[in-house]
Structure 1
Amino acid sequence: MTAAAAATADGAAAAARARTAGGGAGPAGAAAAAAASADDDPFLAVAVPPLPRQLSAKVQHAIISADSQLSERLSEQLGLPRPLILELMRFGAVHYCPVMPKAGPNTPMTPEQLAAASAARAGAMARWGPAPKLQVPRRAMEDAPATAGGYARVHLQPKRFPAAHTTDWRRRVLHQGPDCVVVDKPPGVQVSPTVDNVLESVPACTAAALGLPLDSLAGLHRLDAGTSGVVVLGRGGLAFARWWCGLLEARSGGGGSGGGGSSKSGGKSGGGSESGGGSESGGGSESGGRSGGRGPKAGNEAATARAAEAARAVEAAAEAAAATGGAPLRKVYRAATLSPPPLGRMVHHALVGTRRPGEPAHTLMLAVPVEGSAYCELEVVQVKPIALTGAAAEEFGPSAFESDIRLVTGRTHQIRAQLAASGCIVIGDLLYEAVSARAAHEAAAGERAAHEAAASGRGGGGGGADAAASSAAAGDGGGGTAGGEAGAAAAAAASAEAATAAAEAKCGFAVGSAATAWSRAAQADPLRAIGLQAHRLAVYDPERRLGDGAPAAADLGPGWVEFEAGVPWWRA
């Protein structure tokens, strides 16, 4: 960043903070800011610290009308203060490309707007050429020249992460190596930047704490926003990123890598992907972003060499796995629940990424495999009673159970979904509490319908196998009159209704027929802390790729290093 750009950015930040001061700091000022309308003061969207409530997404699009500085042109065309545009750039909420992308068939534009967009696109292509990469909007973190016919997308109200401003990030750093930084992630922030906010992601916050450039770190795997624990960040070295992804692939046999997701190995190790979520153990774990990628083009010697290096890294990781009698990367998660899960292996079959319009993506755990399901296995190694403290004790009571869990496979939301399917919901996990409540509702409704059908059949003279099945379901041992059987069915239906009501009461909202009703509470607070921590990460690293000073794992033998998260938030 040039001195002038730095001064401009600093001035923009100062302007934003001055506008959000509200006449004084503290709760009163925060309450006043929260009560104000972002329409009246658009700087509230980038307030530091953030408002105590999320603002809804608000995006504006612009076809650049003339050559100019990007901030100047957007300020004029969108009618917004230039300092606000600069602050949105600092957050990573502005995207720009020099050639207007081709409008899709469903683009909501009038014929006049489509004609103007086509003309702008033609002019820009005549100037810059038709290269597809020039038509892909990229994050504009600093002000720069923009040219006529270009396109900009501005996220006026970025998704905010208050925990980014209340965390002592320097104390969260567990290890610094030449190619990586290992950090103990707090709940309430994301590893990957969102499409509208780089500044409050784990890599950016860690880089700022260490005095590094904003884009110098990137997540090599993920945890959900509400999950805490050990995360490895890459410093930009492709060789290290490929080695790490090779470990993940060797650990999972090429499948899911981590506690929480389908592992798409790779990782744009110097930048950060624009994903809004995803995770290990808590969410979809893309174990790195974009460091792997497509095969090299013919004649590209550098790309061929990188591909060969990646293959060697995977092969070396597989050899390491064989040498250690297992995976070269081992993870133990710690979960807090109000009821104790059973010790030992837990096996389910997952339908990953289940969703209908208006619903959040979630994982359904089934007892038997079906088409499209994925095998899931974890091992509950230890369960012990604990005393909750602070906010956890206030919400969930004085005590809970804490489990150490070893993942055998890695699927999206695996630990959360498997524990919920076993009746042991992770504390604070509104999503899988809702999934569990909906499952209870649907099971009760199915049981009620079956009993009603059985009772109706016997009332009309039915019998035989149907009567025996209904009798077994009602628990009457197979005897009794038709009237008695009907009474048992009615009692079972009443019991099912009571179970549904209890599940809905526990869930905190009604499970209705609308697609979003069952998950409304979970969607209202996506940054809520949950009782799940990536507690320990052990890596077989005889070549010391993680760097000197990485703590040795004495109980695993030579060549192993291990990182351990601090006391989890529910006991802190």
Structure 2
Amino acid sequence: MNSVAMTVASMLFAGGCRILAVPAAARAIRIPRAALSSHHNKHAPSWGCRSSHNSNTALAGEAEFSTTDAGNLTATSSSDSFPKYDRLLPCPSHKNPPRIEHLVISEGGPVLELICKALDLPPLYVSDLIQFGAVYYALVCPQPPPNATEEQIRVFKEVTEPSVLRKRASIKGKTVREAQKTFRVTHVDQFVEPGTYLRVHVHPKRFPRSYEIDWRSRIIAVAESYVVLDKPAGTSVGGTTDNIEESCATFATRALGMTTPLMTTHQIDNCTEGCVVLARTKDYCSIFHGKIREKKVKKLYLALAASPLPTGIITHYMRPINMAPRLISEDFIKGWHLCQLEVLECRKIPWPTTAIQDKYCVEDCGWPSQDYAYECKINLLTGKTHQIRAQFAAYKAPLIGDSMYMPAAIADVSNPGLNPFGKYKKDFSSESEKETAVVNWMAQHGKEPSVAIGLQACQISWDDDEHFYEAGLPWWRC
């Protein structure tokens, strides 16, 4: 291989793929759209404030966006298809379409220089990507997906040929699977040897709200081993796969003037606000993880629901698939995860005013009655991703502003039986019929909320309340 780098996959733009234009010294190979689907979440948050929303308009709008942009790409040269790259900061208020590049290096050198040449990106931009944690490497190229092309399979076989791998001292003593494990690139001058695989997230997921927050005012407590933060909605606790820079942990570390980065001990959704514990040491990070496993950590939430719920324990079972939306069933299904929460109290309050919703970029998801809302205090008994949001929606009491689950709840109210796991689920004559119903039910859900929903982690305690902390007022009371 005589090229500086070989592009194994091209960008994913608005749900479609396109061959990347690279310098003449590099070769480009297209990867199928399905092969990159794991990198593209159509429900990823976009920056924006209050908007009218329902599942049908969301899907139609997305389809229109994809078609339009695909047409624009076809009409222009590939070099004109990308925005002009400069720096990742200042943070843009708009969301760029996903672009993930996969490279196999054929001539060794500094990682920054190789990426700049292969992808025609300015050095400062690539340097920013590395600082954001958006560049990964593996000593050996990972196995191509089942739907890979013949050319992709040929390239993979070429760079993983046993006779080629035996010549590489860096992988001696490792199995091929071990050598295919990916790690973050942490330095711009990191040397990358021939045969190394690189994955570059050219358009990281951004969090503009991070720059609007007075982070020092959000600190609840600073202890010897940990910090408790009142996390703002619209921010990420510990960052994402392609962005560890714009995170609560990073901004809290800077606000406190600490030289050692704070570490995440647990997560809450980006659209949720409230108490988060950040560890100051690796040891305490492990200790707190142990307390969570041993159920010594108690979390209380405030949820602002569109309908009332009865007090007591609510039980569902969540499908064990790590993707949104999270589907739950009222009936036990083997292999599905138990989800339990206890509604401690539920009180009727006025629906938040338009001014308050606009201030916190809370989306109007089309709930028919907006005179009163219901503030519920919840003891979370099991901690599954999206658990409160999914369980409340299944009870036809979705959280205000939850643009992912409220559209499905509205659809379920107007069409009982639409939910294949709900109270009025239908009997299916075949597995394929049921699978079609599941796909249709997932399509009733909307996109991930842009900033805030009616959910706050209002209280956290552990060791029998020896450590006890409360968040400030939720946004709907401000």
1:332 to 297, 300, 322: 300
- Root-mean-square deviation (CA, aligned residues, Å) is 3.5
* Aligned positions of 1:111-190 closer than 5 A: 112-118=154-160, 122=164, 126-130=168-172, 131-132=174-175, 133-143=178-188, 144-190=190-236
CA shift at 1:229, angstroms? 0.8
Q: 1:108 to 1:517 in 2, by over 3 A?
A: farther
Are the counterparts in 2 of residues 45 and 156 from structure 1 also a CA contact under 8 Å? no
Question: Does the CA contact (< 8 Å) of 1:352 and 1:412 recur in 2?
Answer: no
With over 3 angstroms needed to count, the CA separation of the structure-2 counterparts of 1:350 and 1:140, relative to structure 1, is: same
Amino acid paired to 2:164: A
Paired residues of 2:275 and 2:460 also in contact (CA < 8 A): yes
Deviations 1:298-349 (A, max 9, x none): xxxxxxxxxxxxxxxxxxxxxxxxxxxxxx432210011233322x213223
Normalized per residue, the structure richer in helix is 1
Q: 2:117 aligns with which of 72, 76, 93?
A: 76
- In structure 2, the CA distance between the partners of 1:517 and 1:427, relative to structure 1 (3 Å rule), is same
Alpha carbons of structure 1 residues 383 and 234: separation in structure 2 relative to 1, 3 Å:
same
Q: Tell me if structure 2 keeps the 8 A contact 1:179–1:237.
A: no
Contact 1:99 1:128 in 2 (8 A): no
Identical-pair percentage:
29
The normalised TM-score by structure 1 is: 0.58
- The structure that is strand-richer by fraction is 2
Q: Please, what TM-score do these two structures have when normalized by structure 2?
A: 0.68
Alignment match of 1:392 (pick from 357, 361, 366): 357
The alpha-carbon distance between structure 1 residues 423 and 442, as it changes in their structure 2 partners (threshold 3 A), is: closer
Equivalent position amino acid for 1:79 in 2: D
Closer, same or farther: CA 241–62 of 1 in aligned 2, 3 Å: same
1:562 correspondence with 2:468: yes
How far is the alpha carbon of 1:224 from its aligned partner?
A: 1.0
Which structure 2 residues correspond to residues 514-529 of structure 1 after superposition, within 5 A? Answer: 515=439, 519=443, 522-523=446-447, 525-529=448-452
Pick the aligned partner of 1:230 from 269, 275, 292.
275
Counterpart of 1:211? 257
- Does the 8 Å CA contact 1:363/1:414 hold for their aligned counterparts? no
Q: Which moved more, 1:197-206 or 1:92-101?
A: 92-101
The CA distance in 1 between the partners of 2:391 and 2:405, in whole Å, is 10
Offset at residue 531 of structure 1 (A): 0.4
Q: Summarize the alignment of residues 192-341 of structure 1 with structure 2, pairs less than 5 Å apart.
A: 192-213=238-259, 216-238=261-283, 240-251=284-295, 328-341=296-309
1:63/1:120 contact within 8 Å kept: no
Equivalent in the alignment of 1:43 = 85
Query: Using the alignment, how far apart are the partners of 1:540 and 1:167 within structure 2?
Result: 31
| Aligned partner of 2:375 among 394, 402, 412 | 402
Q: Which consecutive unaligned segments of at least 5 residues does structure 1 have?
A: 1-26, 28-34, 252-327, 448-511, 542-555
> 2:297–2:462: 8 Å Cα contact kept in structure 1?
yes
The question of whether the paired residues in 2 share the 8 Å contact of 1:352 and 1:411 is answered with no
Task: Identify if the C-alpha distance between structure 1 residues 146 and 334 changes in structure 2 by more than 3 Å, giving closer, same or farther.
Answer: same
User: Is contact 2:306-2:373 (8 Å) kept?
Assistant: yes
Q: Does 1:55 align with 2:28?
A: no
Q: Secondary structure at 1:362's aligned position in 2? A: coil
Instruction: Pick the aligned partner of 2:416 from 440, 443, 451.
Output: 443
Q: Distance in 1 between matches of 2:86 and 2:343?
A: 45
Aligned to 1:348, which of 309, 315, 328?
315
Q: How has the CA–CA distance of structure 1 residues 210 and 354 changed in structure 2, closer, same or farther, with 3 Å as cutoff? A: same
Q: Which has the higher contact order (CA 8 A, sep 6+)?
A: 2
User: What is residue 544 of structure 1 aligned with on the other side?
Assistant: none
Equivalent residue for 1:64, pick from 105, 109, 114: 105
Separation in 2 of the partners of 1:152 and 1:229? 37
Q: Partners of 2:387 and 2:185 in 1: how far apart?
A: 36
Gapped runs of 5+ residues in structure 2? 1-47, 49-68, 74-79, 365-369, 421-435
In the TM superposition, 1:90-109 aligns within 5 A as: 90-101=131-142, 103=144, 106-108=147-149
In 2 relative to 1, CA 207–383 (structure 1 residues): closer, same or farther, beyond 3 Å?
same
In the alignment, is the contact (CA less than 8 A) between 1:93 and 1:197 conserved in 2? yes
Q: Which residue of 2 aligns with 1:361?
A: 325
- Aligned mates of 1:124, 1:225 — CA distance in 2: 45
Greater Rg by CA: 1
Matched, 1:88 2:129: yes
Q: Deviations over 1:369-391 (max 9, x none)?
A: 34334444322222333342534
Contact kept in structure 1, 2:85 and 2:121, CA below 8 Å: no
1:408-452 Cα deviation digits (max 9, x unpaired): 3333333222222222211011222133234446535699xxxxx
